[in-house]
């Protein structure tokens, strides 16, 4: 694999990773703007814009956009997150120019026709309804909202039915013009690609993006707190979070190792203690979500209402115990998991393109595998324990609970005890 990076005069960055053994390529455009870049009256507009990009340009209608890519056996998709929006395709080697043409067309020349806009707003309202009916999705919306209360970073990416219905083409164009700027964009391609050919296509097709940087989003503040909602469900869904670390924090690898030991797989402490030994749930895991200026370490589980208090006590105890007793054997296993995950990602052109785009947006350069592995290897028992202790001391926990029965508030009270224990 050979990585190449070119920064165009406009400020747009092009990165490629040639994988000569492949016959296909994955490529896309990543924009450094997502739901946290929305103004108060724009809740959900970044996600709507992502949808509307596929609904027609002056050269292609919505059907033609889909058919041109699928006629060559490719696929086209997009995703909106808190801090980024991505538009990407996978095609055979000969069709890379076509994919870049379609991607540039939908981003530089969307028409936002009123009929298509009305139809797509209704589609997103249906999507919001689907999340409302899916508690193991909704619980994470609630957790984000509680962790970052009253802030754009804490709002649902989808918006609300009321905000989505309020948007028109003028406001979509305003958001696009303000946030889709060349200096905040990366075109990444991996697989059977030629760097110079990709650069030439991008220079020719993405010239409409220029200008100064988009305005930075408001700084995030982890607030903590709880949200409890009674629903007639078979299980209680609970998500618990502590303030984590931002993407560029030098101790983030130690925290990631801590997270893996705590709840990163079947051998993790939470899986073994909560599920295998005590039988308190079917699913439990921990994760760390890192943003530009903050982060969130979370734990999710689904359990019977009668077992909720016991489960939360075990989770709180295990977080504290892991920060004090995490072992060399656990560290070695976590490091092996992380390194294997990195190497496995290199086998997928799509994952590789996404990884490169994110590295460029976060660090301004591709990060060699050897450098990442070196940082993982540098984690010690003490640095991982220190990361866990700092996590506990950093903030008030955030807790979200959805499910049947009374006494759900006890889960929040038990979670709060972790913060009191640290104090």
List, by residue number, the catalytic residues: 50
Please report, for the chain, how many H helices and E strands are present, in that order. 16, 11
Do 204 and 258 meet the contact criterion of CB atoms below 8 Å apart?
no
CA dihedral 83, 89, 94, 96 (to 10 degrees): -30
What 3-state class would DSSP assign to 60? coil
Question: Distance between CA atoms of 69 and 62, rounded to whole angstroms?
Answer: 12
Do 203 and 8 meet the contact criterion of CB atoms below 8 Å apart?
yes
Do 238 and 411 meet the contact criterion of CB atoms below 8 Å apart?
yes
What six digits make up the tokens of 351? 């994952």
Question: Distance between CA atoms of 249 and 253, rounded to whole angstroms?
Answer: 9
Nearest to 414, CA basis, from 278, 301, 259, 257: 301
Nearest to 285, CA basis, from 277, 272, 294: 272
Do 106 and 65 meet the contact criterion of CB atoms below 8 Å apart?
yes
Nearest to 376, CA basis, from 327, 341, 346, 326: 341
What is the DSSP secondary-structure string of 84-151? Answer: -EEEEEEEEGGGHHHHHHHHHHHHH-B---HHHHHHHHHHHHHHHHHHHT-HHHHHHHHHHHHHTTTS
Question: Distance between CA atoms of 15 and 4, rounded to whole angstroms?
Answer: 6
Chain CA centroid to CA 348, Å: 18
Nearest to 129, CA basis, from 156, 91, 96, 110: 156
CA-based Rg of the chain, rounded to a whole angstrom?
Answer: 23
């Amino acid at each position: 694999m050979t990585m190449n990076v070119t920064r165009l005069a406009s400020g747009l960055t092009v990165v490629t990773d040639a994988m000569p053994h492949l016959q296909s390529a994955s490529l896309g455009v990543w924009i450094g703007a997502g739901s946290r870049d929305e103004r108060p009256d724009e809740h959900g507009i970044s996600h709507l814009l992502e949808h509307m990009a596929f609904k027609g340009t002056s050269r292609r209608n919505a059907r033609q956009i889909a058919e041109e890519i699928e006629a060559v056996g490719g696929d086209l998709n997009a995703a909106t997150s808190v801090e980024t929006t991505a538009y990407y395709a996978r095609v055979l080697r000969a069709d890379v120019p076509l994919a870049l043409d379609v991607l540039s067309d939908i981003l530089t020349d969307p028409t936002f026709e009123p009929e298509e806009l009305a139809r797509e707003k209704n589609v997103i309202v249906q999507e919001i309804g689907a999340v409302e009916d899916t508690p193991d999705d909704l619980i994470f919306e609630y957790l984000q909202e509680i962790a970052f209360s009253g802030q754009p970073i804490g709002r649902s990416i989808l918006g609300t039915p009321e905000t989505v219905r309020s948007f028109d083409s003028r406001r979509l164009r305003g958001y696009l013009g303000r946030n889709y700027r060349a200096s905040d964009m990366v075109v990444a391609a991996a697989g059977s690609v030629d760097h110079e050919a990709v650069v030439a296509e991008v220079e020719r097709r993405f010239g409409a993006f220029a200008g100064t940087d988009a305005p930075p989003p408001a700084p995030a503040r982890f607030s903590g707190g709880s949200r409890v909602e009674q629903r007639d469900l078979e299980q209680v869904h609970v998500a618990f979070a502590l303030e984590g670390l931002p993407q560029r924090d030098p101790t983030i690898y130690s925290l990631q190792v801590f997270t893996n030991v705590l709840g990163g797989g079947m051998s993790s402490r939470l899986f073994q203690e909560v599920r295998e030994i005590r039988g308190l749930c079917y699913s439990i895991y921990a994760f760390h979500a890192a943003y530009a200026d903050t982060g969130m370490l979370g734990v999710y589980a689904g359990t019977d209402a009668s077992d909720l208090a016991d489960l939360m006590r075990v989770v709180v105890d295990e977080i504290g115990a892991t920060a004090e007793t995490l072992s060399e054997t656990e560290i070695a296993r976590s490091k092996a998991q992380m390194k294997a995950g990195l190497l496995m990602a290199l086998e997928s052109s799509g994952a590789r393109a996404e990884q490169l785009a994110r590295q460029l947006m976060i660090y301004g350069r591709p990060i060699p595998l050897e450098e990442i592995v070196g940082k993982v290897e540098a984690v010690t028992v003490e640095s991982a324990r220190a990361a866990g202790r700092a996590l506990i001391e950093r903030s008030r926990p955030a807790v979200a609970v959805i499910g049947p029965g009374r006494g759900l508030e006890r889960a929040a009270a038990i979670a709060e005890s972790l913060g009191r224990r640290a104090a």
